[in-house]
Amino acid sequence: MRTSPIRRGGLAAIPAATLLLLAACSSGGDADTSADEAQAGRAGSGESSARVAVSYESGVAVLDGETLEVLADLDSEEFTRLNPAGDGRHVMVTVADGFQLLDTGAGKDGAEPRMTDTVYEADTPGHVVPHAGRTVLYADGTSDSTILETDDLTGEARTVAGTEAHHGVSLVLEDGTFLTTVGDAETRSGAVAQDASGTTVAESDQCPGIHGEGTAAGEVVVFGCEDGALLYADGGFQKLAAPDQPYGRMGNAYVSESSPLVVGDYKTDPDAEGYLLGAVTVIDTTDGTLEVVDLPDGADYTFRGVARGPQDRAFVLGTDGSIHVLDPESRRVVDAFPVIDAWEGPAEWQDPHPSLKVHDDVAYVTEPASKAVHAVDLTTGEVLRTATLDAEPNEMAVAGD
């Protein structure tokens, strides 16, 4: 383990070749905000201190989570990815040289948002995983994992050196166990667990195409595989097979740390064109089961359109423009909230297309076709506010306690 480089300074434009390496998981001008008076109201059950970061081409706008007022419009690179840093205030912005720290200003003090000069250097930056007081940044180009203390993001960082470069992910558990994926430039096969001293305590090569992660209740970790899922709990790995073989891919896990049920995306045709999916998996980490749930017609979605929210339910933004409410316990869609116009899947995953993020009881939904961001009360389905930007919104990240 070594100290990780953190630098402060300007950034060059991201090269097109780099964009192709930023694999999907699981972006200028001033933006002004307008609110439909008929929809005026609060964005939730009480005053919000949350901030919503929205990327667009060559920039990031930071919106007030309550009013959707644009508080800052910040220059960035042509294409960026956004991930919460885990401290309720900062967002990691994926740029050419690594992960740039965005201070959204979320919190009681209502500070002005700013793009800081702090960059955590990484060769082909990929996943960001906050968990158990640590935030782990993964570099696909080296397979190195940079470990930060979540409550002191600009403090000393540690780096666990990787072995073979691949599109992977790492995280650290409460007891210091370090989990990381295994693979190389051509294939990915599984994961390994190491204790705080770096000694391997468990490993598995039974997860072809391993991708993504999520931590459910009881600190059970779930990874997606091309033929099911891989669980880690109590010091060991467990493979769960998908009902469709040899290919039944889960690639992104949507979790609640208060629920043992994990919702994952699901794909059965490796040669299918486009990025729309029509079914999800429900994994019971207590029983060790994996079930596939078909969604209703019109509820096709992409990896950007699923989140967990109130009552540990899953919320899926469908191509019909509605948020479909899935109860993981019953494996049924129990409601649908119309929000945006019907839309088609993107030609490339990087292209702007509708996305959904949840904070408390509020869903934030982007609608690139109308350059809009909507706030939706997930307890009633009411669209509370709508903001119109000057550019097509792409990715989102929400910061707030």
Buried b (16+ CB within 10 A) or exposed e, 140-177: bbbbbbbbbebeebeeebbbbebeebbbbbbbbbeeeb
Residue type, 347: A
Mean model confidence pLDDT for the chain: 89
pTM: 0.88
Q: In what order do the strands lie in the sheet with 170-172?
A: 170-172, 178-183, 188-194, 200-204
pLDDT tens-digit profile of 31-67? 333 333 323 333 333 345 899 999 999 999 999 999 9
Q: Which two tokens stand for residue 98?
A: 């690594």
Residue type, 70: V
Q: Which two tokens stand for residue 327?
A: 């109860």
pLDDT, mean of residues 90-108: 95
- Distance between CA atoms of residues 37 and 75, nearest Å: 30
- Distance between CA atoms of residues 298 and 341, nearest Å: 12
For residues 134 and 48, which has the higher predicted lDDT (pLDDT)? 134
Show Cβ contacts of residue 272 under 8 Å, excluding neighbours closer than 6 positions.
none
Q: Which two tokens stand for residue 326?
A: 């899935």
- Tell me the β-bridge partners of 103: 90, 114
Contact (Cβ atoms closer than 8 angstroms) between residue 343 and residue 369: yes
pLDDT, mean of residues 127-141: 98
pLDDT tens-digit profile of 315-374? 999 999 999 999 999 999 999 999 999 999 998 999 999 999 999 999 999 999 999 999
Q: How confident is the model at residue 109 (pLDDT cuts 50, 70, 90)?
A: confident
Taking alpha carbons only, the member of 389, 399, 384, 319 closest to residue 354 is: 319
Q: How confident is the model at residue 76 (pLDDT cuts 50, 70, 90)?
A: very high
Residue 284 in 3-state DSSP?
strand
Contact (Cβ atoms closer than 8 angstroms) between residue 192 and residue 150: no
pLDDT tens-digit profile of 250-283? 999 999 999 999 999 999 999 998 999 999 999 9
